[in-house]
């Protein structure tokens, strides 16, 4: 299959174009050997790869270097490049275009944001521009798809062309009467004098091309005015910060409020499905496996789709509206107290979704010291995998009644998120103080103009991220559920031994209802495993059943709820909602509720601090190149989790 | 530089600092002769925002001070 690559500066509308070209036919993976996200998809009969945004081939940031290295590979493979330029800053975009053109790669120039050009009365003569740069030019609005048919025609007929070089000859050297060009090797060198001259030559030539092909009927500065007006409010030292805090409060309230109904519906549906399967399937072990193993386990994952989708939707709106960059701006000073800068905001906020893309996105941080501090601390931010654990424990311990204007459960969730933020910042401060990595703190922030979000892009992102959660977490949870069902359903002891134990338990605790299922679970393989670690976790208020869920969730945090769901399904004759089962679970020694306030607080704090995600550990190792860093991180967080959970249980019990 | 007010234009006449910093500014499209317009930049953020070629860019105050400008 033919290949093409999408290349452009950040904020050029590349992602919109990629989405409109490939639709849902996208694959998200990593580039070989590195953990930078690679998006590819199919357009006509061609595979399109969306490269990370790039400011210049002279770039310094690790993520941009990926794009640069791939573009350099295209020199030999002659892979065509669709270069996406932002029409509103065409001169700036053409600087990068001309750098790539000097590599003599076949290209098509796509001038995006046609709607903005029209609104601001900027007219570009594309045929004249195409003849001047010797490359096909398409004027597009990637948000609506306007101009797509022109691009389709060019790609289907393979009308790519190697554009005119502007500065390649500046790198010509005559060696032994032969011209030797050093442009490619110069891309990894820093010669300020030559680069300054080349930059000015490039700028002059591009200005001349643009002035000959573009008519501006209106002052272009007016384009930014609306955003600059909003900035006076949103970047204001008092109102800006107030609005930011208010936005965060609304975000977490919305995650709880909007997801309540669909979550209840999914929970009830899975309970009903479990009942139905146990009645319909006649093979008893299979019915047991499905209704007590697979269905509760999967239900424990799928129930959180509404919350995760809503969280990504709201974060996507913030990003696509241009507000996320303003959050970087207003938080810069505050973050500087913790050895960080505003550039850490995006990895930190990405951690609310998942620590893995967040750690990957630290590649945009130029300062190696700050990057290491963020990699170390960001798993403490509340990721979506913690959400299932928080949601269910909050629902058990906090009344759902309104506390005045706000929902108390929503406020509790916000408090946990804030605790995660506080822990992250303090650990980042500690890590940057202790780090011996050299510092390089050059940083710039582009403030994009405010826009109404492109819903297609936002929803694609929600779909991709939710799908990744369901598929990636679902696979782990499915396997863990099966293993747990096996461990919890089979026992090394005989049936007669179990029957004897039931009678014995009934005599010992006449006030409690002892069922055969609960005793069978206690003497199952899982029961023995849980009881082995019980002495370690008893000071935290956990019994062996919670211990099993705790061990299984070392693979991934979200497994915790699925595991409890499986364990309580196996150990109970009743079927019903997981939350009800947890509420009804009794402490076998005291007869009181197992999930009382002290235990719930202890569990919540354990999950706030513990690094229970094998995938995160693998990514940290890959990004830092050392297991030492990864294990220090794991044990520091485990210590914090154990200590805080112990204190919480001691105080509240 | 500090006297530059919001909405005022200035031309870059000199860039001080390391060669890495100068090369970094080139990737942003900033060189001697480049014209910038200062935007609203509240001092609490320790960032300076300016318009350049139709884009709004912010630099750390400490970095921005390495750039010598003349108001035009």
Are both A326 and A364 inside the same structural domain?
yes
Q: Are residues A244 and A204 in the same domain?
A: no
Q: Which residue has the higher pLDDT, A367 or A106?
A: A106
Tokens 């390649």, located at residue: A168
What is the nearest CA distance from B37 to chain A, expressed in angstroms?
Answer: 10
pLDDT of residue A514: 65
Q: Is A138 helix (H, G, I), strand (E, B) or coil?
A: strand
- Top residue of A198, A219, A442, A449 to mutate, by most chain B CBs within 10 Å, is A442
Which has the minimum average pLDDT: A64-78, A83-97, A479-493? A479-493
pLDDT digits (tens, 9 = 90+) for A555-611: 667 778 877 777 776 555 554 566 777 877 777 777 788 888 999 999 999 999 998
Q: Between residues 428 and 457 of chain A, which touch chain B (CB distance below 8 Å)?
A: 440-449
Cα of B1 to nearest chain A Cα, Å = 18
As a whole number of angstroms, the distance between CA A331 and CA A294 comes to: 45
Is there a domain that residue B4 lies in? Answer: no
- Do A192 and A253 fall into the same domain? no
- The domain total for chain A is 3
> B26, A58: Cβ pair inside 8 Å?
yes
**Do residues A185 and A315 share a domain?**
no
**Does position A33 have pLDDT exceeding 50, yes or no?**
no
Collect all residues of chain A within an 8 Å Cβ-Cβ radius of residue B26: 56, 58, 195-196, 199
Look at residue A576 in the predicted model and tell me its pLDDT. 55
Q: Is residue B18 part of a domain?
A: yes
Q: Are residues A248 and A211 in the same domain?
A: no
Give the minimum alpha-carbon distance from A368 to chain B in angstroms, rounded to a whole number.
15
Q: Which residue has the higher pLDDT, A445 or A296?
A: A445
Separation of alpha carbons A551 and A430, rounded Å = 29
Residue A34 — pLDDT band, cuts 50, 70, 90?
Answer: very low
CB < 8 Å to A203, chain B: 31
**How far, in Å, CA of A584 to CA of A247, rounded?**
37
In chain B, whose CA is at the least distance from the CA of A58? B27
According to the model, what pLDDT value does residue A354 have?
74
Query: pLDDT of A611-653, one tens digit each?
Result: 888 778 877 887 788 889 989 999 999 999 999 999 999 999 8
Question: What is the residue range of A364's domain?
Answer: 239-434
Give the model's pLDDT for residue A631. Answer: 92
- Which residues of B fall within a CB distance of 8 Å from A333? 44-46
Query: A88 contacts in B (CB within 8 Å)?
Result: 54
Tally the domains of chain B: 1
Cα(A114)–Cα(A195) distance, rounded to whole angstroms? 32
pLDDT, mean of residues A482-503: 83
C-alpha distance from A412 to closest chain B C-alpha (Å): 30
Return the C-alpha torsion angle A97, A102, A104, A105, nearest 10.
Answer: -30
- Position A188 pLDDT exceeds 50: yes
Mean pLDDT of chain A: 84
Interface of A with B in 323-342 (CB under 8 A): 329-330, 332-333, 336, 341-342
Residue A236 in contact with partner chain B when CB distance is under 8 A: yes
In a domain, B37, yes or no: yes
pLDDT of residue A40: 85
- Cβ contact (<8 Å) for A446 and B56? yes
Q: Given the structure tokens 């509790």, which residue do they identify?
A: A412
Percent of chain A residues past pLDDT 90, beyond the cut: 31
Please indicate whether, in this complex, the C-beta atoms of B51 and A221 are within 8 angstroms of each other.
Answer: yes
Note whether B67 contacts A: Cβ–Cβ < 8 A: no
Residue A445: inside a domain, yes or no?
no
B23–A contact, CB cutoff 8 A: yes
For B21-48, the pLDDT digits (tens) are 888 888 888 888 899 999 998 888 889 9
Measured in whole angstroms, the distance separating CA A190 from the mean position of its chain's CA atoms is: 34
Which tens digit of pLDDT belongs to each residue from A111-125? 999 999 998 889 999
Q: Per-residue DSSP letters for A589-648?
A: TT-SBSS-HHHHHHHHHHHHH---BHHHHHHHHHHHS-HHHHHHHHHHHHHHHHHHHHHH
Q: Report d(CA A632, CA A629) in Å as an integer.
A: 5
Assess if residue B33 is contained within a domain.
yes
Taking CB atoms and an 8 Å cutoff, what residues of chain B touch A206? none
Residues of B in contact with A196 (CB under 8 A): 22, 26, 31-32
Is the separation of the CB atoms in A341 and A443 below 8 Å? Answer: yes
CB–CB contact A58 B23 (8 Å): yes
CA nearest B40 in A: which residue? A232
Residue B62, domain CATH: 2.30.30.90
Q: What's the pLDDT at A35?
A: 44
pLDDT band, very low/low/confident/very high, at A80 (cuts 50, 70, 90): very high
Q: Which domain holds residue B33?
A: 9-71
The pLDDT, as a whole number, for residue A168 is 79
In a domain, residue A604? The reply is yes
Indicate whether A27 pLDDT > 80. no
Model pLDDT for residues A427-443, shown as the tens digit of each residue: 999 998 888 877 777 88
What distance in Å separates residue A400's CA from the closest CA in chain B? 39
Distance (Å) from the alpha carbon of A236 to chain B's nearest alpha carbon: 7
Lowest mean pLDDT among A85-94, A130-139, A243-252, A321-330: A243-252
The predicted-structure confidence for A375-407, as pLDDT tens digits, reads as follows: 999 999 998 788 888 988 898 888 776 556 667
Contact A329 B33 (CB under 8 A): no
Question: How large is the average pLDDT for residues A492-521?
Answer: 76
- Determine the pLDDT at residue A505: 75
Convert the pLDDT of each residue in A202-248 to its tens digit: 889 999 999 899 887 666 667 788 899 999 999 999 999 999 988 88
Contact A221 B44 (CB under 8 A): no
- What does the mean pLDDT of chain B come to? 88
Please check whether residues A258 and A169 belong to one and the same domain. Answer: no
The one-character DSSP state at A343 is G
- What pLDDT, on the 0 to 100 scale, is given for residue A647? 96
Strands B9-15 and A107-112: unpaired
Task: With beta carbons under 8 A apart, name residues in chain A contacting B36.
Answer: none
- Would residue B3 count as lying in a domain? no
Residue A454 lies inside a defined structural domain of this protein: no
Strands of A224-376, DSSP E:
none
Structure tokens, A529:
């495993």
The minimal CB distance from A446 to the residues B42, B46, B55 is found for: B55
Q: Give a yes or no: residue B65 inside a domain.
A: yes
Which residues does chain A have within 8 Å of residue B66's beta carbon, measured at their own beta carbons?
A: none
* pLDDT higher than 50, residue A286: yes
- Asked, for residue B30, whether it belongs to a domain, the answer is yes
What is the Cα A314 distance to its own chain's centre?
13
Q: Are A379 and A351 in contact (CB under 8 A)?
A: yes
Domain termination residue (choose one: A434, A460, A487): A434
Model pLDDT, residue A520: 80
pLDDT at residue number A402: 59
């Amino acid at each position: 299959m033919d290949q093409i690559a999408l290349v452009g500066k950040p904020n050029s509308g590349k992602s919109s174009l990629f989405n409109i070209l490939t639709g849902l036919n996208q694959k998200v993976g990593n580039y070989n050997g590195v953990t930078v996200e690679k998006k590819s998809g199919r357009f006509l009969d061609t595979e399109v790869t969306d490269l990370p945004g790039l400011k210049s081939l002279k770039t310094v940031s690790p993520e941009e270097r990926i794009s640069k290295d791939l573009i350099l590979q295209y020199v030999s493979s002659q892979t065509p490049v669709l270069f996406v330029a932002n029409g509103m800053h065409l001169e700036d975009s053409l600087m990068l275009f001309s750098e790539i053109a000097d590599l003599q790669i076949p290209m098509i120039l796509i001038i995006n944001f046609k709607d903005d050009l029209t609104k601001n009365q900027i007219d570009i003569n594309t045929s004249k521009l195409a003849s001047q740069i010797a490359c096909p030019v398409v004027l597009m609005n990637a948000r609506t798809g306007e101009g797509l048919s022109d691009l389709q025609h060019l790609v289907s007929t393979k009308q790519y062309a190697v554009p005119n070089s502007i500065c390649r000859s500046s790198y010509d050297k005559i060696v032994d009467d032969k011209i030797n060009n050093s442009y490619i090797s110069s891309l990894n060198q820093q010669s300020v004098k030559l680069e300054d001259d080349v930059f000015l030559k490039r700028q002059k030539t591009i200005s001349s091309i643009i002035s000959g092909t573009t008519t501006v009927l209106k002052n272009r500065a007016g384009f930014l005015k609306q955003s600059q007006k909003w900035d006076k409010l949103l970047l204001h030292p008092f109102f800006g910060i107030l609005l930011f805090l208010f936005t965060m409060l609304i975000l977490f309230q919305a995650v709880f409020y909007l997801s309540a109904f669909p979550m209840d519906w999914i929970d009830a549906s899975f309970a009903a499905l479990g009942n139905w399967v146990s009645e319909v399937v006649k093979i008893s072990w299979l019915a047991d496996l499905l209704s007590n193993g697979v269905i509760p386990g999967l239900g424990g994952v799928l129930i959180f789709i509404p919350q995760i989708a809503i969280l990504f939707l709201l974060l996507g709106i913030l990003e696509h509206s241009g507000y996320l960059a303003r959050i970087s701006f207003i938080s810069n000073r505050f973050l500087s107290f913790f050895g960080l800068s505003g550039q850490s905001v995006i990895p930190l906020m990405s951690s609310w979704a998942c620590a893995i893309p967040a750690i990957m996105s630290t590649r945009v941080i130029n300062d190696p010291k700050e990057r290491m501090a963020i990699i170390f601390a960001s798993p403490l931010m509340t990721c979506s995998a913690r959400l299932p654990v928080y949601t269910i424990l909050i629902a058990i311990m906090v009344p759902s009644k309104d506390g005045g204007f706000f929902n108390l459960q929503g406020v509790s969730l916000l408090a946990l998120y804030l605790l995660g933020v506080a822990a992250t910042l303090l650990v980042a401060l500690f890590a940057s103080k202790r780090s011996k990595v050299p510092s390089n703190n050059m940083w710039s922030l582009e403030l994009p103009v405010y826009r109404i979000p492109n819903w297609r892009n936002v929803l694609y992102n929600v779909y991709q991220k939710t799908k990744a959660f369901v598929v990636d977490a679902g696979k782990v949870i499915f396997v863990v559920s099966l293993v747990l069902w096996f461990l919890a359903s089979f026992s090394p002891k005989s049936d007669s031994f179990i029957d004897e134990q039931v009678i014995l338990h009934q005599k010992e605790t006449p006030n409690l209802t002892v069922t055969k299922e609960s005793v069978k679970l206690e003497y199952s393989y899982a029961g023995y495993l849980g009881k082995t670690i019980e002495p370690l976790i008893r000071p935290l208020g956990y019994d062996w059943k919670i211990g099993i869920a705790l061990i299984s969730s070392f693979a991934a945090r979200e497994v915790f709820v699925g595991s409890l769901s499986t364990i309580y399904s196996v150990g109970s004759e009743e079927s019903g909602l997981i939350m009800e089962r947890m509420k009804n679970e009794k402490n076998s020694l005291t007869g009181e509720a197992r999930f009382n306030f002290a235990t719930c607080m202890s569990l919540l704090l354990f999950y706030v601090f513990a690094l229970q995600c094998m995938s995160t550990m693998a990514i940290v190792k890959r990004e830092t190149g050392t297991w030492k860093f990864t294990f220090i991180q794991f044990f520091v967080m485990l210590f914090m989790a154990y200590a805080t959970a112990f204190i919480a249980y001691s105080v509240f019990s | 530089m500090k006297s530059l007010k919001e909405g005022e234009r200035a031309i870059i006449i000199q860039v001080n600092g390391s060669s890495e910093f100068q090369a970094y500014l080139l990737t942003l499209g900033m060189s001697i002769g480049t014209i910038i317009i200062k935007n609203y930049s509240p001092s609490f953020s320790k960032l300076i925002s300016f318009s350049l070629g139709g884009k709004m860019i912010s630099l750390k105050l400490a970095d921005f001070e390495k750039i010598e400008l003349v108001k035009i």
